[in-house]
Structure 1
Amino acid sequence: MAQNGFFENFDDDDVYRASKERSLDESTRNFVVEFGKSHAQIGFDLCPGDLQKLFDSGRDEEKPVRWMYVFLNIWAPNRQVELIELLGNRYKFSPRLLAIIQTMPPDTPPATSNRSVGKHKGLHKDDIELAISSVDTPRTRSPSQSLHTISQYDASKEMINFQSIDIGAHCANWMHELPHVKKDESILDEGSQRRLWFWLVLCDDNTVMSLHEDPGPVNNVEALKSMRGNTLSVLSQLSIQGHLSADPTSMITVRQALGLDAAATDSGTEGSSNLFYYLFDDWRAVYSTIAAYRARLRELEHDILADMTRKSGKSPNIEIIPRLHVLGRRVRQMEGLYSGYKNLITRIIESKPGMGHGMGHGMTTPRSLSGVGTRGQGVVLAPSATQRFERLGDRLDLLILSGTREFLAEKDALISMYFNINTQKDSEATARLTRSATLLAKLSVLFLPVSLMTSYFSTQISDIQDAYTVKEYWIVFAVMMSISFMGLFFFSRLLMWVTETLDEWVKEFSLSFARIFTKRGRARQREVNAER
């Protein structure tokens, strides 16, 4: 692999493999890719001087495959203050946006940069992005910290659906969050997500920038791969080597689509717009999030159905209802997240000119393509990318938002089913207890006459001592037991008949009394009215 700041042929297999390894290195700070339809080159860890030379060299019109596109990716922008300020000055970032990007995230070790970033403060407007799996690192704020000193990350922790769009003279910025699912530790932590910021900037010179919040020490290649998953997927497919080996379900067409549309007036705009879309759309992460919630819902459904066969002496699973409650809260948060995401897509598609900061140039609509590829004419989103954003919005409506509503309805149905099952089991247990109590009462009544007879035979009275034999005792015992059993059977039936009859009599008496009382009241009212 070439030294820092030098470019190599990204289509070369050795360079491609080395680039993949380096992009998964936690120490990698940034990379730049320039590509066209037939050629791509990549450079890693550019310093501000290298980037300034790249800007000063311009775009070689004789080699359109080189200047057609520049993709700049920066990890941990708070650790690269000089580089961020260079980009901010060139593309006219607003002071607020520049300060937000340079803000130090909480629980992050101090940067090793030559310049301090502690002075950069900004109120962060939260936003949304798609979820992928990762390891969570809790973020906490000191109790003594007041609302006046709250950082952007503290605000984003409390509010999920915030979103922000900045449109400048030469750039348009969409701030996203990457919530990463963490491993389950307790019921309250099930499905919780860590939100990492992801800034995506589309510039008017066919440049796309992506800036990732510093996650702090990760020390886990798989976790780092998960956090950078979509970015690395897009990066690998900008090379011919990666595109040929890509999974068909996640295949993107950025370089391959250049020049296919004869109506497109500028392939640079076409490429930058489509790359911007693919960086924006992490659709595989959406599926993984939905699948995780669906699997958890099916697991809880299995636990509830298994509770039907629970033995009477075993206590019910008291974790089911809290887990369903937490799952419902996560799904509602996801619904709000993707509702805001849908709104963000609408804002991107419907961005109007004249909204920019500074010179007044802003995001142009796909219909206003007169300034395509000319710096200072505003940011242009190609029609092909606009159509992709529209389809993404439709998928969010039809699959995600409708799916969350189905999740919530199924969650409520599971709660209702769980309580119905427990109510039914409680009713069965009560019925068993009632039958047992009735059986004990009948046995007591059955043996009561025999007990009295036995007490009579065992009484120490001189007149009856030695008057009865054992045979006579057992004959009397059999007779008393038979009479008691027959009496108990008929008495229980008679008791039921008497009880039902008394209930009917009481009901008829109550209705008759009510009718008589009503008639007398009405008659009394008529007499009073007649006297008047």
Structure 2
Amino acid sequence: MEKNGHFADFDNEGTYRESQERALLESTRNFGVQFGEEGADIAFDLHANEIASLISAPASVERPVRWINIWAPHQQLDIVRLLGEYYGFSPRLLAIISTAPPASKSQDKPFGRLRARLYRKDDIEVATTGGSDDTPRSAREKSPHEDISHYVLAEQMINYQGYDVGKHFFCIGFNFIHKLKPKAGDINEDRLKEGRQKRLYSWLILCDDQTVISLHEHPGQVDDREDLAAMRSNTLSVLSQLSNWGIADAISMKTVRQALKLDSASESAGVEGASLLFHYLFDDWRGVYSTVATYRKRLDELQASILDEVTRKNNSSLNIEIIPRLHILGRQIRQSQHLYEGYKNLIKRILEPKASPVHLTAVSRTSTCLSARPGSRGNGVMLAPSAAQRFERLGDRLELLILSETKEILAEKEALLSTYFNINSQRDSEATARLTRSATLLAKLSVLFLPVSLMTSYFSVQIQDLQGVYTVQDYWYSFAVLMSISFLSLFFFSRLLMYITETLEVWVKKLYRATIHLVAKTLRRRDQMQA
């Protein structure tokens, strides 16, 4: 690959390998790709003047689609402002994209130990931003009236979304949840069980000249290369498959260039490619599925732990980790559910018809707009029918597979929680019954030995007339007789005593009611006589 800012053939094996390495470097700021059915070119770390030359030059028929990807846009304000001025971003959108993330963000804080999120469904238009201030500042350092910024809202409300339509662009903003691997050598069992996840905000912008712009929140300092690869996984998956050397399994396949070859209308290649690229950058299906699969796996592990409580020995301690882990799992699932419902809402907004003449529309292949020169502006933002159909299918998958699965997992989690409490309640009842039987046995033993104790006391009394009257044989005979009588009495009369006790309780209740009735009747009669 040539030096920074210069495009190289992405279908060249050496360029492809080097691009894969460059994309995984934390120092890489951005890249640009121009591609078509027959070829693709790529360049890394473009400067503002190079971006300006790229977007101002008419796209060629051979490579009608352009993709500009920017990591940490707040550190590349010259490029962001250039794109905003060229495509007519609103001042609010430009200010939000330029906002720096809070400096106090922690990049690998375990998801299970995060503070409770606020899940609200407020209109995002009430949000205020930190403007174009380039200096990162923690929300805790702001006054009470200034502590609500874009990234604070994105952190507190997982389904926080952005939606903006202009004359030359269409923009959506949303949170991505990236699943990270446990750190090597981490001995924290809770951290390993809960997993590590990272929330990052992203913008996708589809422009009217078949240019797609993707911008991603800066994750902070990332020491582990695997973590960075996980955060950029979907972007790198789409990027790699724009080259002929890129491979993917059936789940992760992004058929952007392949779909261009299937399109018979060559005039629509730019719209087709840009629309499909826009869709696949949004559709991180593998990430969504792996997250839900992880929840199912953890729920199965908790189910096994709860069912093990049935066979737990009485002298073993209670597993006190189950309740916190169930709570953390439920919170994570609900948070993901809010996120996926937000995705579904975004898909609805993308596909719904707009009243304004300038809108995102699924154009027909016979539309006169498609006969325009690739890369020309002023035709409005157009979404190809193939991309619209993919968005519809994505919405169906989210509803039928992901959201239904999260609801089922939440229901099973509540059932497991109830089962856990029922098991412990049953074990507590059994323990109470054992204690009751033990107490009853001790009471019976005390009753059994009470006559013997009295007899022994009688034999030990120092009375002169009894001196020498009783022998040891008399004592043991008396002991045997009293023990036999006491044992027979306990054996035969214990149930009789219980019956007598219950009968006396019934009589006492009847007597109490009769007394109350008699007193009330007497008082009523006295009142009548006085009246």
Per the TM superposition, whether the score is higher than 0.5 is yes
Match of 1:363 among 341, 356, 360: 360
TM-score normalised by structure 1 residue count? 0.84
1:102 aligns with 2:98: yes
Q: Which residue of structure 1 lines up, in the alignment, with residue 429 of structure 2?
A: 427
User: Mean Cα displacement is larger for which, 393-402 or 298-307?
Assistant: 298-307
- The 2-side partners of 1:325 and 1:253 are apart by 40
Decide which moves more: 205-214 or 192-201. 192-201
Task: Decide which of 266, 273, 276 is 2:275's aligned counterpart.
Answer: 273
Given that 2:34 and 2:66 are in contact with CA atoms closer than 8 Å, whether structure 1 keeps it comes out as yes
Provide the C-alpha distance between the structure 2 equivalents of 1:88 and 1:311, rounded to a whole number of angstroms: 67
> Structure 1, residues 98-140: CA drift from partner, whole Å, max 9, x if none?
121111111189xxxxxxxxxxxx9359xxxxxxxxxxxxx95
Question: Match of 2:15?
Answer: 15
**Partners of 2:303 and 2:143 in 1: CA distance:** 43
Q: Retained in 2: the 8 A contact 1:173–1:200?
A: yes
Structure 1 distance, partners of 2:51, 2:496, is 102
- Distance in 1, matches of 2:38 and 2:355, equals 33
Change (3 A) 1:508 1:460: closer
1:366 maps to amino acid: V
Structure 1 residues 268 and 425, CA gap change in structure 2 (3 angstroms)? same
2:168 to 150, 167, 170: 170
- Matched AA of 2:244: I
Deviation at 1:505, TM superposition (A): 4.7
After superposition, the C-alpha distances for 1:291-336 in whole angstroms (9 at most, x for unaligned) are 2222332232233222333343444233322332232222222222
Q: Which residue of 1 aligns with 2:311?
A: 309
Q: 1:252 pairs with 254, 259, 273, which one? A: 254
Native 8 Å contact 2:59 2:65 kept in 1 = no
8 Å Cα contact 1:178/1:197 also seen in 2:
yes
Question: 1:106 aligns to what SS in structure 2?
Answer: coil
Deviation by residue 1:119-172 (Cα, 9 ceiling, x = unmatched): xxx9359xxxxxxxxxxxxx9522543323632112222223222211111111
1:205 aligns with 2:200: no
Alignment of 1:466-481 (within 5 A): 466-481=468-483
Contact 2:140 2:147 in 1 (8 A): no
**What is the match of residue 263 of structure 2?**
261
The AA in structure 2 aligned to 1:148 is: E
Structure 2 equivalent of residue 390 of structure 1 = 392
Match of 2:467 in 1: 465
Tell me if the contact between 1:124 and 1:156 (Cα under 8 Å) persists in the aligned partners.
no
Inter-partner Cα distance in structure 2 for 1:433 and 1:37: 80
Normalising by the residue count of structure 2, what TM-score does the alignment of the two structures yield?
0.84
- Corresponding letter in the other structure for 2:235: T
1:142-181 correspondence to structure 2 within 5 Å:
142-148=140-146, 150-181=148-179
Distance 2:143 2:104 in 1: 17
How many residue pairs get matched? 489
Check the 8 A contact 2:34/2:42 in 1, yes or no: yes
Q: CA deviation at 1:276?
A: 0.8
Partner of 2:75: 79
Secondary structure of the residue that 2:41 maps to in structure 1? Answer: strand
Shift of 1:515: 10
Structure 2 equivalent of residue 119 of structure 1: none
How is 1:340-359 mapped onto 2 (pairs within 5 angstroms)? 340-352=342-354, 354=356
**1:227 has 2:231 as partner:** yes
* Rounded Cα–Cα distance in structure 2 between residues aligned with 1:316 and 1:264: 69
Give the Cα–Cα distance (whole angstroms) in 1 for the partners of residues 517 and 463 of structure 2: 63
The answer to whether the 8 Å contact 1:170/1:362 transfers is no
Once the two structures are TM-superposed, the CA of residue 351 in structure 1 deviates from its matched residue by 4.3
Cα deviation digits, residues 392-435 of structure 1 (max 9, x gap): 11111112221222122112112211211111111111111111
- In the TM superposition, structure 1's runs of 4+ consecutive aligned residues that sit over 4 Å from their partners are 181-193, 503-518
Partner letter of residue 27 of structure 2? S
**Partner SS, residue 174 of structure 1:** strand
Separation in 1, partners of 2:451, 2:59: 114
Query: Aligned partners of 2:33, 2:68: CA distance in 1, in Å?
Result: 7
Shift in CA distance, 16/146, structure 1 to aligned 2, threshold 3 Å = same
Answering whether residue 242 of structure 2 is matched by residue 238 of structure 1, we say yes
Alignment match, 1:33: 33
- Aligned-partner Cα distance in 1 for 2:314–2:104: 53
Cα pair 1:352 1:365 within 8 Å, conserved: no
Supply the AA of the counterpart residue of 1:411: K
Q: Secondary structure at the match of 1:173?
A: strand
Distance change in 2, residues 1:273/1:144 (3 Å): closer
Query: 1:124–1:155: 8 Å Cα contact kept in structure 2?
Result: no
Change (3 A) 1:149 1:444: closer
In 1, Cα distance between the equivalents of 2:145 and 2:321? 36
Provide closer, same or farther for how the CA distance between residues 514 and 385 of structure 1 changes in structure 2, counting only shifts above 3 A: farther
The 3-state SS of whatever aligns with 2:446 is helix
Whole-Å separation in 1 of the counterparts to 2:435 and 2:159:
53
Once the two structures are TM-superposed, the CA of residue 466 in structure 1 deviates from its matched residue by 2.3
Alpha-carbon distance in structure 1 between the residues aligned to 2:281 and 2:411: 33
What 5-or-longer segments of structure 2 have no aligned partner?
A: 106-126, 131-136
Shift of 1:28: 0.9
The counterpart of 1:215, out of the listed 219, 226, 229, is: 219
Measure, in 1, the Cα distance between the counterparts of 2:251 and 2:159.
29
SS in 1 for 2:214: strand
Q: Partner of 1:114 in structure 2?
A: none
Distance 1:379 1:298, change over 3 A: same
Name the SS of the counterpart of 2:238 in structure 1: helix
Whole-angstrom distance in 2 between the partners of 1:217 and 1:85: 25
- Deviation track 1:205-230 (CA, whole Å, cap 9, x = no partner) reads 11111111122221221111011000
1:92 aligns with 2:88: yes
Mapped to 1, the partners of 2:147 and 2:455 lie a distance apart of: 91
Q: CA deviation at 1:510?
A: 7.7
Q: Which runs of 5+ in 1 are unaligned?
A: 110-121, 126-138, 355-359
Calculate percent identity across the aligned residue pairs: 56
Cα distance in structure 1, aligned partners of 2:104 and 2:318 = 44
CA contact (8 A) 2:158 2:175 kept: no
Q: Write the mapping of 1:34-53 to structure 2, written as runs, cut at 5 A.
A: 34-53=34-53
Measured after TM superposition, the shift of residue 239 of structure 1 is 0.7
**Residues 326 and 413, structure 2, Cα contact 8 Å, conserved in 1:** yes
| 1:300 matched to 2:297 | no
Q: Which moved more, 1:363-372 or 1:462-471?
A: 363-372
Partner letter of residue 91 of structure 1? Y
Decide which moves more: 310-319 or 463-472: 310-319
Per-residue CA deviations over 1:349-400 (Å, capped at 9, x if unaligned) read 114262xxxxx63322435943235521111111111111111111111122
Cα distance in 1 for partners of 2:241, 2:341 equals 30
